[in-house]
Amino acid sequence: QLNFMVDLEFLMSNYKAGRADGKPLLVMYGQMEGDTKDFSSVTCVKVNLPFIYGTHHTKMMIFEYRDGLRVVVHTANLVPDDWYEKTQGFWVSPIFPLLENGKSGLLDGESPTRFKRDLVEYLLSYKAPDLVRWTHIIMKYDFSSCNVVFVGSTPGYHTGEDKDRWGHMKVRRAIRQHATSWKSSLPIIAQCSSIGTCCISK
């Protein structure tokens, strides 16, 4: 679970309802309520934010099942008010199967939209050992059925080659790359939690 605000009691009540509260769980968070000592199967890691501006605002779940892996990107913090009192959105991937013959590579089972590489690159940008382990897990799976683009956003200053890797610049690059293969009628759905400041240049 990668999220900004986490109510650990609320999160684990849902895992308990699904009879999954005893399974290992990694929670990467910005702010948290609750005592991790109450849940022995949970590892909670506060995201390191090296810059005064920008924050960890990701809301994503990665589930490894017996028969595959699933990614969920959503808009809700893991707190009761966000789930019970507000309108939210989410994208749920298909279940990605294991690669055949024990393969485990970044380019093996890649989607036409390079979703797998972009997801791994995003997780590595955290420079967190726990997420590095998850990138190795992800590389074992076949993402070739994925037909969406993953757009991550990380705090910091991005120049040179990094400029087009994140945020709205990545959206622009993706549209240019896939313009010929995407139908003109295909909608582009963009969501942001807030716009704090905005600079417009002519």
Annotated binding residues for substrate: 59
Q: Which of 1, 5, 2 is nearest to 78 (CA)?
A: 5
Binding residues: 59
Instruction: Name, in order, each residue with C-beta under 8 angstroms of 159's C-beta and a sequence gap of 6 or more.
Output: none
Q: Residue 74 catalytic?
A: no
| DSSP structure string for the chain | -B-SEEEHHHHHHHHHHTT-TTS-EEEEESEEES-GGG-TTEEEEEPP--SSS------EEEEE-SS-EEEEEES--BSHHHHHSS---EEEPPPBPBPGGG---SSTT--TT-HHHHHHHHHHTT--HHHHHHHHHHTTB--TT--S------SS---GGGGGTSHHHHHHHHHHHHTTTS-TT-------S---------
CB-side neighbour CA atoms (13 Å) of 2: 25
Among 56, 57, 136, 168, which one carries the catalytic annotation? 57
**Which amino acids are annotated catalytic?**
57
